[in-house]
A and B are shown apart, each in its own frame.
Chain A
């Protein structure tokens, strides 16, 4: 078997790459980017409709575009890209052959057919049921078929990933333990299996119900299980983008984790506790006990949040350590000032860490607090939060990685590199605006998934405060900025593939700057004081914002 595999040696990294894995990475990543373009376009249409004075689309098209935006971005773009990451983290990083490449292609086509079918069915207009497709609202049966095909394809790739780990281990392609990035990808793949199983458990009966073969699906049960997929799938993204953060720190700075033990423990907490997150969506639901809500929504004592807080320190910490080893030791922040601010891979990953932590992370914990959810559930605060995590965190990290990965894999220079320098700032600015303005409007009570905040067609009337209208307009402006950045990204990636200058020679990744900390653990002072100060700034913002929201809660009507 192994003899039939052909390899090439990557001049930049020195890695031996299985040509089939190489091809699968490229196809999955490029397909992901195409759907990012489609889904991003739908997102722009949504934001322009929710901008009160623009109010672009009619109601039916608005709900259609919103459904398509959710499916194309949250599922298709992100998961196709994660499939590329799984091949990369297993076959490439372990320098192993990819077993059963034909199965990988089968999975790819299954996912592509699912994604295309999903888009066609949504565009036909009979499946504007939102990404969540809550029963008893019914979509075209093909809508559920499309999601299932896509999920089965993704599941196959997860098993192929595990198979590659086994092959690499038994063929001894590497020494010792898995690289941290591969470990993170493995965590993502394990969570993905749980997630896809939850999806199958609820979507198969829902498909049968839509065909008339099952008479009734309980709407509360649907939400409990659906979010076992819906929220856990976001934890695949978190694990994957944290792995990308570590990968970015490694290729740009030659950074080494401060201690492997801490990073791996933090990843492990994701596997143990992230599955509880379904409860985040059930905090104001009838019939669930407070004990159930508190235990599950907090991931059992916030242990998964704790995991993310650890990564939030260890990723920039590993960068600081690498920079200090290079001699940037002045003061607290010389290491950061002297970072390569013109390199979109670094800037994108750095902004991804900041936006994910400060915007998406803090708001997620607040939103997921049992009682605080009362003042936020289903308001536009919710999309505000997850644009901070999924767009500002995951998507930006993946895009940033592309600026390194695409030239390496395709052997071409990025088209218009000056433009690339602008990209992460512009995208980060737009997404941060979207997240913060939506959170602001949500705090003023503006509903999510709503065509007309003026209620012009309703028999009764209600006026949101003028500030809410202003915030929704600012959200629209931010979406335009993010869309321009997104268009720059897609254009650059496509043109790099088509007309990018052929890459001559090698551009080696940063060398291993930070030798192990062995022996330094007990030295005087902190190894990464700058990062620690940043972490304290983060904690202060977190604590203040958390308690401000309890203050808001204490001002609403009394409930018991």
Chain B
């Protein structure tokens, strides 16, 4: 029994039973298939996270974001005072996570690629675009750079999905895709 020492002291000489051998073969094959899927998707898939990232101080990053907002601001969102920014297709976009907002609001074109820069100036934040459901982790001191192409138009929420204190549930940004 499993709670007593093996009855056969030379248990490693016992043959492997056929069901087990069969299952071991199947499971190993499935393991290899699952492993191969990841590099396969890097080559043929269109949803792969870039690995480009830079170390940057929060102040330096904030300056970049402010310059970006200044350059492409088109209006303010209702009476919230939050700038709405419309960069041209292919442009670099600088988005900032801080307690408790995703700044600024973006207006993008469907089917056009943009170069997103993401960072935080205080704590860890989550960058979760809904309802398309893309979820990224944003760290202070790290500038993450990735190419993103919206494939549908509409109004998208940017939910912070990393706990960042008592106002976490109010940390919500917006992206318009036209």
Contact = CB atoms under 8 A, between A and B. Distances in A.
Interface in A118-139: 130, 134, 136-137
Interface of B is mostly: mixed
A447 B6 contact: no
A486 interface: no
A448 B161 contact: yes
Interface of A is mostly: loop
A362 B148 CA distance: 29
Contacts of B35: 294, 298, 301-302
A444 B166 contact: no
A260 B34 contact: no
Interface stretch (A25-33, A39-47, A390-398, A518-526): A518-526
A447 B128 contact: yes
A59 interface: yes
Given A317-B20, A518-B14, A557-B149, A220 B48 contact: no
Interface size bracket, B side: 35 or more
Nearest to B110: A557
A13 B141 CA distance: 60
Contacts, number: 329
A542 B48 contact: no
A526 B19 contact: yes
Contacts of A317: 19-20
B8 A518 contact: yes
Contacts of B164: 137
Interface in A511-555: 512, 515-518, 520-522, 525-529, 531-532, 535, 539, 542-543, 546, 550, 552-554
A285 B126 CA distance: 10
Interface string B132-147: 1111111111111011
A464 B130 contact: yes
A370 B38 CA distance: 7
Nearest to B46: A558
A200 interface: no
Given A365-B34, A378-B128, A527-B17, A449 B163 contact: yes
Given A179-B2, A528-B19, A460 B128 contact: no
Interface of A: 13, 59-60, 63, 93, 130, 134, 136-137, 174-181, 218-220, 246-247, 249-251, 254-262, 283-290, 294, 298, 301-303, 305-306, 309-310, 313-314, 317-318, 365, 369-371, 373-379, 443-445, 447-452, 455, 457-462, 464-465, 512, 515-518, 520-522, 525-529, 531-532, 535, 539, 542-543, 546, 550, 552-554, 556-560
23 contacts: A63-B168, A176-B9, A250-B1, A250-B2, A258-B19, A262-B16, A284-B49, A284-B137, A286-B138, A286-B144, A301-B35, A313-B20, A378-B161, A455-B157, A459-B82, A459-B172, A465-B131, A517-B14, A550-B41, A557-B47, A559-B47, A559-B48, A559-B148
Interface of B: 1-9, 11-12, 14-20, 22-24, 26-28, 30-32, 34-35, 37-39, 41-42, 45-51, 53, 77, 80, 82, 101, 105, 113, 118, 122-124, 126, 128-144, 146-152, 157, 159-166, 168-174
